[in-house]
Amino acid sequence: MSPFQKLSIVAIVGISLLGCTPLVRHEMTTEFPAPVRYAVGTPPASDGRARFRDIFCRLLAADPDYQGQAGACENFLLRFNDEPLSGDIPQPPPRQSTRYRVMVVPGLFNECFADIALPFEDAIKSLNDHRFKIDALVVGGRSSSDSNADYISATIDNLELDQDERLVLIGHSKGAVDTLHYLVKYPQASRRVAAVVSVAGAINGSPLAAKGADIYTGLARYFFFGQCDTGDDGAINSLRPAVRMSWLAANPLPKSARYFSLAACTRRENINMLLKTGYDLLWTYSPRNDGLLLISDQIIPGGTLLGYANADHWSVVLSLENKNLLISQTVHAPQKFPRKVLLQAILLYVAETLESKQE
């Protein structure tokens, strides 16, 4: 059975077991501020959207694939009405002596479908240079965040960093949650980490985790057979909102690292066909979602908000449209999302922040 067929089966079974979803009556809009949900006692995020937009838009304008496209930047990076104007903030010159080791941590089940796509895989190949060395850190696709924290710890313990290298972890979806668990569980070892970036991260979990737990339990033994290790099979439970919010309230994040969040949401017509059921279920809370997560649940407490990508949960990091597979036909976005530009903008923003802190 092909990966596409497996994903299609999950989508169809999900529709039948979760029941009919309500029709979307209101479109996603940017005409009022984007909400952020925090556990009581956790610090709010600071707003870095203006500076990030400046970096992203300049890179996009210089990219040959997007040059000359009117409004291209606004098409890919949503501007909610509370976003401050950039004011053309000058960019300080980079420290040529500072280099970065970047590890990208995939999300839920990604290990099981690594043959389809890994987060930023195309961008990683093209952005690796003397300043940024980027690799994937593939964790257990079906394991809990606590278990994956152990794996991340073992990997980083064996990572040889040069004296002028700083370590940056970028987590997509549950990968961001696994990374935060690592920082809290191994506070001394995690001092090696200079920054953590969440891209469409399941920081507060997802209501879909609670709704879909029984479906996962019933299908997992058949669906994932031979594709990936079971681990402790705690992945879905790790994404329950009650679990996530309680964990955040009880576990302050180490101050030794800087935190950054890039959220994702888009209109229903841009959602991948296999994510539309999730989008409609989340619409009962808000149309501002990416098919798996509400945007209010994607922000790390006490970190810096970079912005809101106009993409679904997969398209923001996975190059599914580039695959010679049937799954390519499930992508509905009118334009290929500029993942290389996005990753480059994230790295430049993080580097700028870390280096200004050293002044």
pLDDT per residue as tens digits for the range 177-221: 999 999 999 999 899 999 999 999 999 999 999 877 655 554 555
Residue 356's pLDDT is 87
Residue 269's pLDDT is 94
* Residue 340 contacts residue 123 (beta carbons within 8 Å): yes
Residues 6+ apart with CB under 8 A from 137: 103, 104, 105, 152, 155, 169
Q: What residues in the chain have per-residue pLDDT under 70?
A: 1-25, 70-71, 87-97, 213-227, 357-359
Can you give the C-alpha Rg of the chain in angstroms? 19
* Residue 172 contacts residue 317 (beta carbons within 8 Å): yes
* Residue 130 contacts residue 96 (beta carbons within 8 Å): no
* Residue 319 contacts residue 117 (beta carbons within 8 Å): yes
CA dist 298 and 258 (Å) reads: 16
Residue 17's pLDDT is 45
Which 3 state secondary structure label does DSSP give 155? helix
CA dist 140 and 142 (Å) reads: 6
Cα dihedral value 37, 262, 146, 9, nearest 10:
100
36 closest CA partner among 345, 270, 263, 292: 263
Cα distances (angstroms) measured from residue 34 to each of 43, 83, 245: 17, 9, 19
Residue 27's pLDDT is 80
* Residue 136 contacts residue 128 (beta carbons within 8 Å): no
* Residue 137 contacts residue 152 (beta carbons within 8 Å): yes
What pLDDT digit, counting tens, does each position of 119-143 carry?
Answer: 999 899 889 888 999 999 999 988 9
Set out the domains of the chain in order of their start, with CATH numbers: 3-22+35-87+97-221+229-354 (3.40.50.1820)
219 closest CA partner among 6, 54, 64: 6
Residues 6+ apart with CB under 8 A from 70: none
Residue 201's pLDDT is 98
Cα distances (angstroms) measured from residue 280 to each of 174, 177, 274, 284, 291: 21, 24, 12, 7, 8
CA dist 355 and 147 (Å) reads: 33
Tell me the whole-structure pTM to 2 decimals: 0.89
User: What's 190's DSSP letter?
Assistant: G
Residues 6+ apart with CB under 8 A from 294: 37, 206, 207, 282, 285, 286, 288
User: What's 196's DSSP letter?
Assistant: E
CA dist 91 and 86 (Å) reads: 12
Angle at 249 (CA atoms; ends 247, 254), nearest 5 degrees: 85
CA dist 103 and 94 (Å) reads: 21
